[in-house]
Structure 1
Amino acid sequence: MSTIDLSKRRIGVNFSEQQAEVLVWAPQASGLSLLIAQDPDQPLPLTQQEHGYWYLETDQLKPGDAYQLLIHQQQGERLKRPDPASLSQHEGVHGASTAYDLSAFQWTDATWKGIPLEAYILYELHVGTFSAAGDFAGLEHQLDHLVSLGITAIELMPVAQFPGNRNWGYDGVYPFAVQSSYGGPQGLQHLVGCCHAKGLAVVLDVVYNHMGPEGNYFDDFGPYFTEKYHTPWGNAINFDDEWSDGVRHYFIENVLMWFRDFHIDALRMDAVHAIKDFGSLHILEEIKSYTRKLSVKTGRQHYLIVESDLNDPKYIDPEHHYGYGMDAQWIDEFHHALRVTAGQEPTGYYSDFNGLAHLEKSFHDAYVYDGIYSPHRKKTFGRPATENPGKQFVVFSQNHDQVGNRMLGERSANLLDFSMLKVLAGAVLCSPYLPMLFMGEEWAESNPFLYFVSHGDESLVTAVREGRKAEFASFHASGAAPDPQSEETFMRSKLQWELLKKGDHACLFSFYQSLIAIRKKSAAIYELNRKHLKTETVPDARCLMLHRWHEEQHILCFLNFSDDEQQMRMPSEKPYWKKLMDSNAPEWGGNKASPQSLEAGNLLQVPASSFLLYTSKHV
């Protein structure tokens, strides 16, 4: 039986003192053999162990060798398949696996202990479209840009091996294998080392709620899926049905590998509401338990950040409060309220949001729907998260989903004017939560971020195309949805780095730089105390004042989303207020600067579509 070993990966192929150890979970096989490409006519049989595991120790398999597994099925059929725990798939999702020695990489980040979660300023990116090269090496060349911007943590969209060379990453079918076109496992290890050398933490997006359709051979090995529950992608991954122990161990091993062998600092776990587990110990809680033990062993703090659509704080509540112990979660509702306030048409799931009132609520409560009736869902929805600290929530004005799931993939820069982009930046970066930017946001990237794939199965390509057409059928007046399979769709989604030096693009980048720098040195902003927060609004206008404080320092963040100048009164908590940031000042592309200082009780004229930041004397 497989037992979790904190010190090393056990599942799949691993190397120790010139020996390869092979451990495969295939409970429904009658036999299992290893086929090495150099000698395919000499299969090496694995020995059956308890609970569906098969084991082999051999000196014939070396790092870099291509190999497959020969499954002897109960019906007598024999199937050649890649290793479900493969670390490298140079030949794609249907080809042979490539043996890789995780321990061979020479790390140079021994002094790196990570950064506190509350210090995370996140930057989500897609490796394939972030640079011209579209790989880890291309990303490394742009790290200095992120450092100069003030980012403290990059968040990589999924890098698990997917079909072809173009994909968002959520169609991965080898959770342990690093996408070969990005640079494979060694490329990722090198990238992480470079990030740590520059003071950047690395967050990796992982998918534990489904497997992609193409190259998915898991059913040939065992009951990785269960018919008890269904998800938008088909049968759910088997976390609580018969034989679920082997599946649970598989994913726990995956989590530990990223932290231990790739030195990843945090995992962002995709759509955990689609993980179906009604056992006595939820898989997320068990993952947290092993993560905590690994952190004690390594001396590095590892974080688990989830995406959840349930507005249920049990995911982020500690285990002793009957929660799953996740460290943080994305808050889509902050995004939705912010976008409607900025002028987004309230259709679809945006129809639940009324703009400023809901944005004000999200600043206070994180969740907007926390036990109130949702017209869009047609039910009462959510629970309050009043006791969860601000560092447990990640907020943003755009991300890969909110951009890429639009039919034409328009970014904020295509939908809003330049002045409003600065207001959105102020709302996110002055919030009492962890801020996240989406790649290119900081210079108003104008290229879209579209949905793209490169499947080899034509029937699957047709299904994806038809699915996208059906999803956007009501948008026919806006033209046809871009072809997801087309390489042109992918190329149109690449960032235009040359924009950084041009006009408003350069101005916005400097604006983000300055605002992030202010956030880092202003305790009233970087101390994420949700209790030290007040808000005021202008009745019947889209204008809000966010008042935050820490000890003697207070900050006032004025956000005017309207097309008209609005009037607000300076609060009386401090006698004197000094301006820190003014989006309408000429230096930031505006036309008139607001007063440099004001006294308590003074009236402030907040310009249309503008963001203002004032502080008390104590900075």
Structure 2
Amino acid sequence: MQFEVWAPKAEDRVVLRLDGEDLPMRRDVSRDGWWTVDARARPGSRYGFSLDGGPVLPDPRSRRQPDGPDGPSAVVGPETYERRVAWPGRALPGAVLYELHVGTYTREGTLDAAARQLPELVELGVTHVELMPLCPFPGRHGWGYEGVSLWAVHEPYGGPEALSRFVDAAHGLGLGVVLDVVHNHLGPSGNHLPAFGPYFTDTHHTPWGAAVNLDAPGSDEVRAFLLGSALGWLRDFGLDGLRLDAVHALADTRALTFLEELSAEVDLLGAETGRPLFLIAESDLCDPRTTSPRTAGGIGLHAQWNDDFHHALHTALTGESQGYYADFAQAPLAALAKTLTRVFFHDGTYSTFRGRTHGRPVDRARTPAHRFLGYAQTHDQIGNRAQGDRLSATLSPGLLACAAALVLTGPHTPMLFMGEEWGAGTPWQFFTDHTDPELAEAVRRGRRREFAAHGWAEEDIPDPQDPATRDRSCLDRSEREREPHGRLLAWYRTLIALRSAEPDLSDPDLGAVTVAHDESERWLAFRRGDVFVAVNLSDGPRDIPLGSGGPRRVLASWDEVAVPGSGGVLRLPAESAAVLTEL
């Protein structure tokens, strides 16, 4: 087989060390900076590259790192990627996503263990599992956002074979699989890319240091590296989509941006495979051009997370007003109503948190609602709190039911965070397993310093390096057999089934959504076609006007409600929600 590596920083020689044998590599005269050699190898063969007599480093395009990101790479055979399940794909319109962290979804913390639990997600009614990052990172447990070896799968999760088994299991049950990938930074621990070439540039700086090189000299090969990694997940493992972490942090001044190039390549691969592949961005820009088609001057990503909806909902539910919640706290129900109809709260408005205007309006006439994901909780919004507390730690079951109704019947593509569906009592905290003692201590001190500035006592901040922090974050499925968890789980199942059964709840027309609310009475209601959804966030019953229309029937309600007639009002109990439709 042929081994190759892009190593323009090598001046004189590159050596392949394969199963203990050193093999000199030759320059590829047709490709600047590339070195190649033909050698006999088998699946499992260990190898790495030495540049100019330096230490043996893992392959930047390694498909497997059996001993972690600092160890040798391993050859992966084609049988790893063989599909055992015929799968036509599952498109994003009409989807309900479920964000899942492999390391805490089960106590075992492996892909195989997670695959055994997939039938419960089918019963819940979700359509796609969104896996948090899988690339290798130091130690055993972590969130995955400090991964390196962007073509490989974290070995403690089971490696590439386990991912193939997981995808087959999901597809066999009718579930799509989405993977969270990180292109905006790597490492720092275990990141050997700078030794090979200009993967990073000081032309731009990010919160993680030097930026990934997307536009400086050498960036053609860096972009090809990232594109190859992204397409490999979709092509080789058969995944259905990718979630792109923090695309606003990708510094890129080229006329054809990396994200546009990635979008075009994914669309091409989808056409070639006959599967509806898609990209979902995490973006802080509130810019509809992120998801606008390339033919209309947009970037062409297929969807994006909408944090504005989350922030408005969170503020309405909790009353919190610190940090970025300050922008939404003055009139949270009005902010929520705006995000339900116009997507972004900040669409050219002033942001007190940022100290400037922010965002751009969405063209509702041309933009389908499914391009924006709506959610009440995510790994970020839980795990970046000081104690990793979920909404269930402070809210009543009734308010959790209201949040579910707004997410699962609203116009956005809904996304749930694992355990949310039964109001999991376990936190989801920030945890790491850095093998570098200095880095581990720096992360520990940084976490304490960050929250001490907000009034938290040092002893109240979980130690990220303590294994107990990860253990506390593992789901406890036995909760589902107890109340109020079982009732909440049944409510989520009901709402997801309604979303599938009622065509109005899949209508992509943002302009067809109408919302009414009363800030002081703390109720909000919206209509989508013949479906009417109402939530009462107050601690007492409320009369909610139904507007015009014929007799109604109740499709679902958290607490018992009377069937209202034509016009009139809906008497909704405290901290409750109801979904109705016209006869």
State TM-score, norm by structure 2: 0.97
Distance 2:215 2:341 in 1: 37
**Residue of structure 1 equivalent to 2:322:** 347
**Residue of structure 2 equivalent to 1:533:** 513
CA shift in 2, pair 1:539/1:340, >3 Å: closer
Distance 2:479 2:519 in 1: 39
Cα deviation, residue 51, structure 1:
4.6
Please tell me whether the aligned partners of residues 5 and 36 of structure 2 are also in contact (alpha carbons under 8 angstroms): no
Q: Does 1:370 align with 2:347?
A: yes
Moved more, 250-259 or 530-539: 530-539
Please tell me whether the aligned partners of residues 102 and 261 of structure 1 are also in contact (alpha carbons under 8 angstroms): no
For residues 276-330 of structure 1, give each alpha carbon's deviation from its aligned partner in whole angstroms, at most 9, with x where no partner exists: 1010100000011111111111111110000000101111111111111000000
Q: Secondary structure at the match of 1:257?
A: helix
Moved more, 382-391 or 249-258: 382-391
Distance 2:522 2:6 in 1: 57
For residues 174-206 of structure 1, give each alpha carbon's deviation from its aligned partner in whole angstroms, at most 9, with x where no partner exists: 111100000101110111011001000000000
Structure 2 residue aligned with 1:140, among 109, 115, 132?
A: 115
Superposition map of 1:259-278 within 5 A = 259-278=234-253
**Residue of structure 2 equivalent to 1:437:** 416
Structure 2 residue aligned with 1:412, among 372, 391, 394?
A: 391
CA shift in 2, pair 1:579/1:237, >3 Å: same
Cα deviation, residue 27, structure 1:
1.1
For residues 81-124 of structure 1, give each alpha carbon's deviation from its aligned partner in whole angstroms, at most 9, with x where no partner exists: 011111111111111111112455431222x1112211210000
**Residue of structure 2 equivalent to 1:26:** 7
**Residue of structure 1 equivalent to 2:369:** 390
Q: Does 1:470 align with 2:459?
A: no
Cα deviation, residue 493, structure 1:
0.5
**Residue of structure 1 equivalent to 2:167:** 192
Q: Does 1:215 align with 2:194?
A: no
**Residue of structure 2 equivalent to 1:79:** 55
Distance 2:575 2:458 in 1: 27
Structure 2, unmatched stretches of 5+, are: none
Please tell me whether the aligned partners of residues 410 and 448 of structure 1 are also in contact (alpha carbons under 8 angstroms): yes
- Which amino acid in 2 is paired with 1:604? L
Please tell me whether the aligned partners of residues 80 and 164 of structure 2 are also in contact (alpha carbons under 8 angstroms): no
Distance 2:519 2:437 in 1: 56
Cα deviation, residue 579, structure 1:
0.5
Q: Does 1:48 align with 2:33?
A: no
Cα deviation, residue 54, structure 1:
2.5
Structure 2 residue aligned with 1:181, among 123, 133, 156?
A: 156
Please tell me whether the aligned partners of residues 45 and 75 of structure 2 are also in contact (alpha carbons under 8 angstroms): yes
Please tell me whether the aligned partners of residues 560 and 606 of structure 1 are also in contact (alpha carbons under 8 angstroms): yes
**Residue of structure 1 equivalent to 2:131:** 156
Superposition map of 1:107-126 within 5 A = 107-110=83-86, 112-126=87-101
Q: Does 1:70 align with 2:54?
A: no
Distance 1:97 1:250 in 2: 17
Distance 1:169 1:148 in 2: 28
CA shift in 2, pair 1:206/1:102, >3 Å: farther
**Residue of structure 1 equivalent to 2:18:** 36
Structure 1 residue aligned with 2:474, among 465, 481, 494?
A: 494
State TM-score, norm by structure 1: 0.91
Distance 2:16 2:519 in 1: 71
Please tell me whether the aligned partners of residues 143 and 195 of structure 1 are also in contact (alpha carbons under 8 angstroms): yes
Q: Does 1:400 align with 2:379?
A: yes
Q: Does 1:359 align with 2:336?
A: yes
Structure 1, unmatched stretches of 5+, are: 1-19, 585-592
Q: Secondary structure at the match of 1:293?
A: helix
For residues 147-183 of structure 1, give each alpha carbon's deviation from its aligned partner in whole angstroms, at most 9, with x where no partner exists: 0000100000000011111110000011111000001
Distance 1:156 1:104 in 2: 19
Structure 1 residue aligned with 2:258, among 280, 283, 287?
A: 283
Q: Secondary structure at the match of 1:118?
A: coil
Structure 1 residue aligned with 2:561, among 594, 605, 615?
A: 594
Please tell me whether the aligned partners of residues 96 and 126 of structure 2 are also in contact (alpha carbons under 8 angstroms): yes
Superposition map of 1:214-363 within 5 A = 214-354=189-329, 355-363=332-340
- Which amino acid in 2 is paired with 1:444? G
Distance 2:217 2:556 in 1: 59
For residues 457-513 of structure 1, give each alpha carbon's deviation from its aligned partner in whole angstroms, at most 9, with x where no partner exists: 111011100110111012325842111011111111000011111121111111111
- Which amino acid in 1 is paired with 2:552? W
Cα deviation, residue 541, structure 1:
2.1
Distance 2:392 2:104 in 1: 17
Q: Secondary structure at the match of 2:93?
A: helix
Please tell me whether the aligned partners of residues 28 and 36 of structure 2 are also in contact (alpha carbons under 8 angstroms): no
Distance 2:447 2:518 in 1: 41
Please tell me whether the aligned partners of residues 137 and 183 of structure 1 are also in contact (alpha carbons under 8 angstroms): yes
Percentage of identical aligned residues: 38
Distance 1:148 1:410 in 2: 26
Cα deviation, residue 55, structure 1:
4.0
Please tell me whether the aligned partners of residues 24 and 37 of structure 2 are also in contact (alpha carbons under 8 angstroms): no
- Which amino acid in 2 is paired with 1:506? G
Moved beyond 6 Å, runs of 4+: none
Q: Secondary structure at the match of 2:318?
A: coil
**Residue of structure 2 equivalent to 1:543:** 523
